[in-house]
Amino acid sequence: MILIGENINIMNKKIKEAMTNRKKEVIQKIAVESKNNGMDYLDLNIGPARKDGPFLIEWLIKTIREVCDLPLSIDTTNIEALKVGLEMEGEKAIINSIQGVEERMEELLPLVKKYNCKFIGLLLSKEGMPRDENERGAIAANFLAKIDEYGIPHDKVYFDPIVLPVRFQQEQVVATLEFMKMFKELFPDCNSTCGLSNVSNGALNELRGLLNRTYLVMLWKYGMDSAIVDAYDKELVYIVNQEKEDIKNLIWEAMDKELDISGLSEEEKNYVKTVYVLQGKSIYSDSYLKL
């Protein structure tokens, strides 16, 4: 499982302030800590960065390169900024992301070809968000046809089936799982990734890590190759590094059958209840652990 640290993200107030005022130390601290905590990549999310994009990304990458050698995932809708990043990082970089919409694919796949880099193929179409696992499959198939047109090897793509918040869109959380169940059969030589923390957006803070970790382990069972994650969730890294096999095995077991949880520890009960919520077998509510 390849882990991409999500924490250098302009949506976060402190990071936004550090980017605006070019405060190196704030960014460098997160980069170093993300690597120390076990991340394989850093996601640099600068959003639309309308005017300043190319300067901002150049500053960010230089700043990070003073202290950290992790490869980067470049997350911006500003194409000029993206090009600057690709020029600096070349084939090590990941473009985050290219939407499965004709104009976007035609604009950005040539960059993949030029720089020989990887990219995240976001399973959105011109109709917007897919409604279920079958629409995700159709968008991915159409995307792959375009990838072939450009002669791009399949291992360059990381399809992102779009993770949505369980608090607001529980049925979409299930659809993404159902899609991943079919993924390796439909697209055997392609990779997969996702923005894991989306699943817990809007949920109570004390539930977020539990929801994120449980969902990652569930997606992993179906072959998810990578995820954009909170680099400060140490428990998540332990599980991925197979230092918490009891928890992983429990989650995988709960996915296949209704477990009697009466003899389990509090922690184990919480994971099992979370599996049932993420499978759509129990309804999400802020108090689901107490039921």
Give the span between the Cα atoms of 215 and 20, in whole angstroms.
34
User: Judged by CB under 6 A, which stretch of 99-107, 129-137, 139-147, 196-204 contacts ligand THG?
Assistant: 196-204
Q: Determine if 176 is a binding residue for ligand THG (CB under 6 A).
A: no
Q: Report the residue number, 165 or 254, with the smaller CB distance to ligand THG.
A: 165
**What do you get for the CA distance between the two ends of the chain, in Å?**
32
Using DSSP, state whether 8 is helix, strand or coil: strand
Using DSSP, state whether 225 is helix, strand or coil: coil
Read off the tokens for 184: 């390796």
Q: Report the residue number, 9 or 63, with the smaller CB distance to ligand THG.
A: 9
Minimum gap (Å) between residue 229 Cβ and ligand THG: 8
User: Judged by CB under 6 A, which stretch of 79-87, 138-146, 181-189, 194-202 contacts ligand THG?
Assistant: 194-202
Q: Determine if 45 is a binding residue for ligand THG (CB under 6 A).
A: yes
Q: Determine if 272 is a binding residue for ligand THG (CB under 6 A).
A: no
Q: Determine if 160 is a binding residue for ligand THG (CB under 6 A).
A: yes
Of the candidate residues 2, 12, 59, 221, the single one contacting ligand THG (CB under 6 A) = 12
Question: What b-and-e string marks burial along 205-243, b requiring 16 or more CB atoms within 10 Å of the CB?
Answer: eebbbbbbbbbbbbbbebebbbbbbbbebeebbbbbeee
Asked if 86 contacts 111 with a C-beta cutoff of 8 angstroms, the reply is yes
Residues 66-125 that bind ligand THG (CB under 6 A): 75, 96-97, 120, 122
Q: Determine if 214 is a binding residue for ligand THG (CB under 6 A).
A: no
| Beta carbons within 8 Å of 188's beta carbon, 6+ residues apart | none
Give the span between the Cα atoms of 120 and 43, in whole angstroms.
12
User: Judged by CB under 6 A, which stretch of 50-58, 99-107, 191-199, 211-219 contacts ligand THG?
Assistant: 191-199
Of 84, 227, 95, 222, the C-alpha closest to 156 is 95
Q: Determine if 9 is a binding residue for ligand THG (CB under 6 A).
A: yes
| Beta carbons within 8 Å of 180's beta carbon, 6+ residues apart | 161, 192, 219, 222, 223, 224
Q: Determine if 192 is a binding residue for ligand THG (CB under 6 A).
A: no
Q: Determine if 233 is a binding residue for ligand THG (CB under 6 A).
A: no
Give the span between the Cα atoms of 224 and 190, in whole angstroms.
11
Question: What secondary structure does DSSP assign to 152-205, as a single string?
Answer: --GGGEEEE-----TTT-HHHHHHHHHHHHHHHHHSTT-EE--BGGGGGTTS-H
Minimum gap (Å) between residue 30 Cβ and ligand THG: 10
User: Judged by CB under 6 A, which stretch of 129-137, 180-188, 193-201, 252-260 contacts ligand THG?
Assistant: 193-201
User: Judged by CB under 6 A, which stretch of 8-16, 107-115, 165-173, 184-192 contacts ligand THG?
Assistant: 8-16
Interface with ligand THG by CB under 6 A: which residues? 6, 9, 11-12, 45, 75, 96-97, 120, 122, 160, 163, 195, 197-198, 201, 228
